[in-house]
């Protein structure tokens, strides 16, 4: 990435004691072109042209990684005499030192990358319901920022052309653009950017807002910051939090964790599945190492599955964490999700209600048990094996999104309305990835599922995108 800040310093050193018209930019272009692509080299030349144009026009040059700014002299024509340039360069160095002292960054680069990666992972746009120039115009004066496209004078024209008119820039362009420098800017500007992405005038979608807010809070707290709502009109603001760790004087109560694990492979009236029982066995083993008391049911009938779920609800009472895992066939009918037991004989869509178990039964039992953290994992989005017998008007493919009750997280092996792969190895793709990440130490549950999603997307070439719905009110760690 080309650093405009460093580029201007190089030019200032070069023009010292020389008229501006005599300056040879070739050494700077050569020294900064190492390992650059053709497009990046073109951008470098445009940046240099814009910097020189600003100098000739006596315009101010801004450095966008803080409040540092250099003002050129006010005479009609810029002549780079030594005294003026040396004085300007001296102020640059002094301001740079003062800026580093005054704006010491507490938000780590890794934290910033995790947050910004969240937009790519969730496919949520950073500019919400606004077009990109309108969003950025609430934070920056685009009329004074330079254009990187030589056809336009200002950033406002440049950005409007490429994001509204032509839409030929990738969604994440703003994170690496030197005019905004989101990754490396001061903490205040970075936090202002985040708060603007969830401002009520920018984003109306409540699910997107909840997802982004959870990503922000979970990542920022490690660096001592949080984001909270100020008001319906004012939106959200960021503040520092106390990171002092108080050593407990009493013995910490061990969490009571309980899990029900279901695997359905050998269907009596449909083609058997290869991996669900292996998936259930793998989940049982890993959950036991993570402190869960596990009940496992392999190939249950409808009656056995209902009894197991209801008994699990009773066992959960008095527990701290409840987890339900299902691997097998699932189907969506009229907006409801059903888990298909091995004895289901679904000759028509109407039989689903009688032969299957509605997934909401699990959530009802968890709510009644009043457990602090409830986790439901459904690797049940495979193709419906009975669909060909139902004729026209069958239920939609994949599962529907369910609302997660307070303190709950519902994880799907693929996005709503989509289907997942049964896998070519001993486990399904989703569960295999989950088993590899769930035991990682000190990773909060939301981050863990983000990592699972990225890996599954990579392995499936983005044909399968895992999904979560969450209303967790606190962090949970499988292995802390």
pLDDT score of 395: 46
Q: What is the mean pLDDT of residues 214-229?
A: 89
Q: What is the mean pLDDT of residues 402-431?
A: 78
Using the predicted structure, report yes or no on whether residue 321 has a pLDDT greater than 50. yes
Tokens coding 8: 């201007």
Model confidence pLDDT, tens digit, residues 293-304: 999 999 999 999
pLDDT score of 95: 47
Model confidence pLDDT, tens digit, residues 270-286: 888 888 999 999 999 99
Among 260-269, 342-351, 390-399, the range scoring the smallest mean pLDDT is 390-399
Q: What is the mean pLDDT of residues 238-258?
A: 68
Q: Work out the number of other CB atoms within 10 angstroms of the CB of residue 192.
A: 15
Using the predicted structure, report yes or no on whether residue 183 has a pLDDT greater than 90. no
* Domain regions of the chain by residue span: 4-102, 109-240, 257-470
Q: What is the mean pLDDT of residues 408-429?
A: 75
Higher-confidence residue: 339 or 87? 339
Contact 453, 437 (CB under 8 A): no
pLDDT score of 20: 53
Contact 378, 411 (CB under 8 A): yes
> Is residue 416 classed exposed, middle or buried when 0-12, 13-18 and 19+ CB atoms within 10 A define those classes?
middle
Q: Cα torsion at 456, 458, 461, 462 (round to 10°)?
A: 60
Q: CA 151 to CA 16: how far, in whole Å?
A: 30
Beta-carbon contacts of 22 under 8 Å, excluding residues fewer than 6 positions away, are: none
Higher-confidence residue: 32 or 458? 458
Using the predicted structure, report yes or no on whether residue 316 has a pLDDT greater than 90. yes
Which CATH number describes the domain made up of 257-470? 3.40.50.1460
Relative to beta strand 373-379, strand 61-62 is unpaired
pLDDT score of 67: 31
Using the predicted structure, report yes or no on whether residue 139 has a pLDDT greater than 60. yes
Q: CA 360 to CA 404: how far, in whole Å?
A: 10
Model confidence pLDDT, tens digit, residues 157-181: 999 999 999 989 988 899 888 888 8
pLDDT score of 144: 84
Using the predicted structure, report yes or no on whether residue 136 has a pLDDT greater than 70. yes
């Amino acid at each position: 990435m080309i650093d405009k800040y460093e580029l201007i310093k190089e030019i200032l050193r070069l023009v010292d004691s020389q008229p501006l018209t005599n300056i040879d930019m070739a050494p700077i272009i050569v020294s900064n072109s190492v390992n650059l692509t053709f497009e990046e080299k073109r951008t470098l030349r445009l940046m240099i042209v814009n910097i020189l144009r600003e100098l000739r026009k006596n315009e101010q040059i801004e450095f966008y990684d803080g409040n540092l700014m250099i003002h050129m002299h006010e005479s009609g024509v810029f002549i780079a005499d030594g005294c003026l340039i040396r004085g300007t360069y001296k102020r640059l160095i002094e301001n740079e030192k003062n800026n580093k002292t005054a704006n010491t960054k507490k938000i780590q680069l890794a934290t910033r990358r995790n947050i910004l990666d969240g937009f790519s992972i969730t496919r949520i746009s950073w500019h919400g319901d606004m077009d990109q120039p309108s969003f950025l115009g609430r934070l920056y004066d685009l009329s004074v920022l330079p254009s990187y496209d030589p056809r336009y004078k200002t950033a406002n024209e440049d950005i409007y052309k490429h994001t509204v008119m032509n839409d030929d820039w990738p969604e994440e362009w703003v994170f690496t653009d030197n005019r905004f420098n989101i990754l490396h800017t001061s903490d205040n500007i970075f936090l202002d950017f985040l708060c603007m992405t969830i401002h009520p005038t920018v984003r109306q979608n409540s699910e997107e807002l909840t997802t982004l807010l959870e990503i922000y809070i979970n990542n920022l707290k490690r660096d001592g910051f949080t984001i909270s709502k100020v008001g319906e009109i004012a939106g959200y603001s960021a503040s520092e939090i106390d990171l002092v760790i108080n050593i407990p004087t009493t013995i910490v109560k061990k969490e009571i964790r309980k899990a029900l694990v279901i695997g359905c492979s050998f269907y009596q009236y449909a083609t058997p599945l290869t991996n669900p029982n292996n998936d259930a066995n793998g989940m049982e083993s890993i959950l036991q190492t993570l402190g869960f008391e596990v009940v496992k049911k392999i190939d249950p009938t409808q009656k056995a599955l209902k009894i197991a779920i209801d008994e699990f609800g009773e066992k959960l009472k008095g527990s701290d964490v409840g987890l339900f895992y299902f691997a097998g066939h699932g189907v969506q009918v009229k907006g409801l999700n059903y888990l298909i037991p091995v004895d289901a004989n679904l000759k028509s869509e109407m039989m689903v209600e009688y032969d299957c178990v509605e997934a909401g039964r699990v959530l009802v039992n968890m709510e009644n048990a009043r457990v602090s953290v409830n986790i439901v994992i459904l690797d049940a989005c495979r193709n419906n094996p009975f669909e060909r017998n139902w004729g026209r008007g069958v239920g939609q493919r994949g599962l529907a999104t369910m609302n997660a009750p307070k303190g709950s997280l519902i994880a799907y092996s693929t996005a709503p309305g989509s289907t997942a792969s049964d896998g070519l190895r001993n486990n399904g793709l989703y569960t295999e990835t989950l088993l590899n990440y769930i035991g990682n130490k000190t990773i909060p549950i939301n981050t863990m599922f983000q990592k699972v999603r990225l890996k599954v997307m990579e392995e499936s070439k983005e044909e399968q995108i895992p999904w979560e719905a969450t209303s967790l009110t606190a962090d949970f760690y499988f292995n802390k």
